[in-house]
Amino acid sequence: MAKGERVFLRGLTSAQYGLSEFRAAQLAAPRVRNDSVVVDDASVGHSGDSRESRTWWRIGPGDDPFLTQTLQVHFVQLPPGTSNRGHGHQNEALFYILEGRGYEIHDDRRYDWSAGHPVVVHTDSVHRHYNPYDEQATALVMKAKGTWMYLGLLQQGRGGPPADAAGLGPREDWSQLWTPGVDQRKKVVTQADTEWELTPLGRVRVMSSPARTDVRAFSVDVFELEIPAGSRSGKRWHMADEVLYVLSGSGYSLHWEVSADIADRYYARIATEPARYEITAGDTLYVPQNTVAQHFSADGEPLRLLSGQNRLFKQLGYDRVAYLEHAPEFSPAAAASR
């Protein structure tokens, strides 16, 4: 990579067939990042910022040390009475509004939002974010942009005719290629659109998942987890890696590495001792692929976590979660009676 270039997709090379050294380096990277970590200030190769708005990155494919490119995380901030620049890209993005209120213009349609709302920037959307109010607005953005880049879906820009417009025919409706009915799905998910459920993981509010066919999201699965003060989540094992943003509260997370024992078949060997990671409000916590994790809330107030995962893992056959321990508040009988 030349200096001053943005990394859109990271390569993976090795002189060996086994990639144990790559995974070892990934597992050794610090997994908790806070506001002191700005891995990209959006000064190179970005389209959305205006003179007033601000964008900064927490997790991305160009990071050193490297965590993941299955899910990228950045923040967008709009001071009162401002907007960012309009632009378009093929990849989908999910904005979770951390503070303030405002609205989007997506493909000439307006979508209003406020704190606590997830907002979907749909595939192939021309969009712009506005804050006409007298309070600052900030959003956490999760997106699986690397998936689009890998698949060659990289047509994006700030707008304007194609460079070779003279040799092109008239405009056609791009949405002819979309899944039928997507324009009827929700792009802003309000609290009234969700329900808190008591699950083996704990108290969960699902905002985006394969089961939520009412939401116009196809690449990023998002839920909120609330752990009572002094309690813990379920202990779960899944193949997808995960980014958790600490909305409020504090505590710690235990991670057990899972090694592959390749014999007559694949066997899993779970570490006997976990690694511990302290977390507090504003942190992002990374859980690597094929890891057992459990989260613990400190005394005083509940720990609220926003979870994001790349849905592609489910399409690859890893759509199950193994619970090695349930959250203390959960019982199958109580859940069945709800």
Would 29-155 and 189-338 be classified into the same CATH topology? Answer: yes
* pTM greater than 0.85: yes
Q: What is the pLDDT of residue 1?
A: 44
Residue 91 to residues 121, 149, 253, Cα–Cα distance (Å): 9, 8, 31
Q: Which two tokens stand for residue 174?
A: 């791009």
Q: What is the pLDDT of residue 161?
A: 81
Q: What is the pLDDT of residues 263-298, one digit of tens each?
A: 999 999 999 999 999 999 999 999 999 999 999 999
188 strand-pairing partners: 119
Cβ atoms of 100 and 133 closer than 8 Å:
yes
* Cα(309)–Cα(92) distance, integer angstroms: 13
Residue ranges in the chain modelled with pLDDT below 50: 1
Instruction: Report DSSP letters for 171-215, one per residue.
Output: ---GGGGSPTTGGGSBSB--GGG--EEEETTEEEEEEE-TT-TTB
Write the CATH number of the domain with boundaries 189-338.
2.60.120.10
Which parts of 8-148 are beta strand (E)?
Answer: 32-33, 54-59, 72-78, 82-83, 87-89, 93-99, 101-106, 109-114, 118-121, 125-131, 137-143
Amino acid at 233: S
Q: What is the pLDDT of residues 54-99, one digit of tens each?
A: 999 999 999 999 999 999 999 999 999 999 988 899 999 999 999 9
* Cα(6)–Cα(40) distance, integer angstroms: 9
* Cα(173)–Cα(155) distance, integer angstroms: 16
Q: What is the pLDDT of residue 75?
A: 96
Q: What is the pLDDT of residue 336?
A: 60
- Cis bond upstream, residue 132 (ω within 30): no
Q: What is the pLDDT of residue 241?
A: 98
Q: How many CB atoms lie within 10 A of CB 337?
A: 7
Fold entry, domain 29-155: Jelly Rolls (2.60.120)
Domain ranges of the chain: 29-155, 189-338
The H or E element containing residue 332 is: helix 332-336
